[in-house]
């Protein structure tokens, strides 16, 4: 089944790019992410790199959004520092996005290849955590 292409949320890309350009710093903060909530607001964040597994910008923005009461994220994008442009989410982030926001769209690609994809397209034949939890109440 093919669904019509979802337009790219350029305002969201610009928000992440602005944070990447102005706030990314050193080796600790190299990626920015921006997420749009269903209510229209945009939340931004930076990654917090650490060799023990510091969170990607996408994960930080999920927490930052929740801290602002934005729990229903509909679109996510990450942009790299040093003018690297849009960077697709890593495998861990794809799984987190799928489990936490199964209908979220993710912006990937640069130039003519920039597009908006449902997270399910980024993780075909995926493991769905909720499908494997016990129905019993603890
Ligand atoms: Zn990631």
CA of 136 to the centre of ligand 1 (A): 32
Task: Tell me what pLDDT residue 137 has.
Answer: 59
Helix axes 91-100, 57-67, angle to 10 degrees: 30
Instruction: Judge whether 58 counts as a catalytic residue.
Output: yes
How far does residue 67's CA lie from ligand 1's centre (Å)? 20
Among 18, 27, 58, 136, the active-site one is: 58
Per-residue pLDDT of 57-108, as tens digits, reads 999 999 999 999 999 999 999 999 999 999 999 999 999 999 999 999 999 9
What value, to the nearest 5°, has the Cα angle with vertex 57 and ends 125 and 25? 145
Distance CA 121, CA 68 (A): 28
Q: How many angstroms is it from 21 CA to the middle of ligand 1?
A: 19
What does the pLDDT look like over 113-131, one tens digit per residue? Answer: 999 999 999 999 888 888 9
Average pLDDT over residues 28-37: 98
């Amino acid at each position: 089944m093919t669904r019509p292409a979802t337009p790219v949320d350029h305002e969201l890309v610009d928000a992440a790019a602005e944070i990447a350009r102005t706030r990314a710093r050193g080796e600790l903060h190299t990626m920015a992410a921006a997420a749009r909530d269903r209510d229209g607001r945009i939340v931004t964040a930076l990654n917090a790199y650490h060799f023990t597994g510091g969170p990607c910008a996408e994960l930080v923005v999920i927490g930052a959004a929740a801290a602002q009461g934005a729990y229903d994220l509909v679109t996510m994008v990450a942009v790299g520092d040093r003018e690297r442009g849009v960077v697709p989410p890593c495998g861990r982030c794809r799984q987190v996005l799928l489990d936490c926001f199964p209908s979220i769209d993710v912006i990937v690609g640069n130039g003519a290849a920039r597009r908006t994809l449902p997270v399910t397209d980024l993780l075909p034949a995926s493991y769905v955590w909720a499908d494997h939890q016990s129905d019993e109440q603890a």
